[in-house]
Amino acid sequence: MSRKTSGELMAEKVIGVLGGLGPWATLDLFEKILTLTPAGRDQEHLRLIIDNNPKIPDRSPAIFGTGEDPTPALVETARNLERAGADFIVIPCNTAHFFYDAVRRAVSVPVLHIMNEVAASAGDAVPGLRKVGVLATAATVRSRLYHDAFERLGVTVVGPDEQGQDAVNRAIYGVKAGRMGPEVTRELVAVAAALVSGGAQAIVLGCTELPFVLREQDLTVPLLDSNLILASAAIRLARDPGSLMASAAPSRMP
């Protein structure tokens, strides 16, 4: 592996991670960035600034109108990252993207959009993709952010029935509580299999807790891990700053 010069290292951009939504998902993103970065020594890894802020109010109740608005805390955490030197920001939480536009407007650095990154990468991962199944929080499903991102590309999004959605919600909040056993995986595999039977050609892990309990080898179709895709995008943009602005496209207003 060739060694980077100090000038090349300085040209790399600093990744800001708006984390804690939840902490396990933030840890997963960090590990994936480390694993995917081609580095032979400490100095060849990318610089990250992580604000792991689990005190941000739960996004799902807010979307359903039963909980505290997380927007002020999301905005302030994003501003913390910008003040600390982040050149762009990633948010390893799908549901939080309901509030994406407020965060994007609050800072002068780009903010990547996880749904747009997943949709943009899906065609390469699954040639001829026409229908995709999404496993996500009920609030993310209700927001239709994945529907919007994929439908712009001519891809139909399908989700679980009510019973399946309940299983997905249990799995997500179980991971947040540290429950990641094989019984959770079995329940999710059944939900995903139903979507595949309905024509889904791939399954999106549309919640960043789900990689802990559902993996590619568990399914018969490709698995699109939103946290892995976000990590890849962050690495690409940090190492190729010229593509940064083009990738940070605005989303629709919630």
Please list the active-site residues. 93, 207
Element (H, E) at 51: strand 48-52
User: Strand, coil or helix: what is 227?
Assistant: helix
Q: Tally Cβ neighbours within 10 Å of residue 38.
A: 10
Euclidean distance between CA atoms 202 and 210, whole angstroms: 15
Q: Which residues contact 246 (CB under 8 A, 6 or more apart)?
A: none
For residue 16, cis peptide bond before it (omega within 30 degrees of 0): no
Contact 88, 244 (CB under 8 A): yes
In our burial notation (b when 16+ CB lie closer than 10 A, e otherwise), range 222-234 reads ebbbbbbbbbbbb
Q: What are phi and psi of 47, to 5 degrees?
A: -85, 130
Contact 137, 205 (CB under 8 A): no
Euclidean distance between CA atoms 130 and 220, whole angstroms: 17
Q: Which residue has the tokens 């840890």?
A: 27
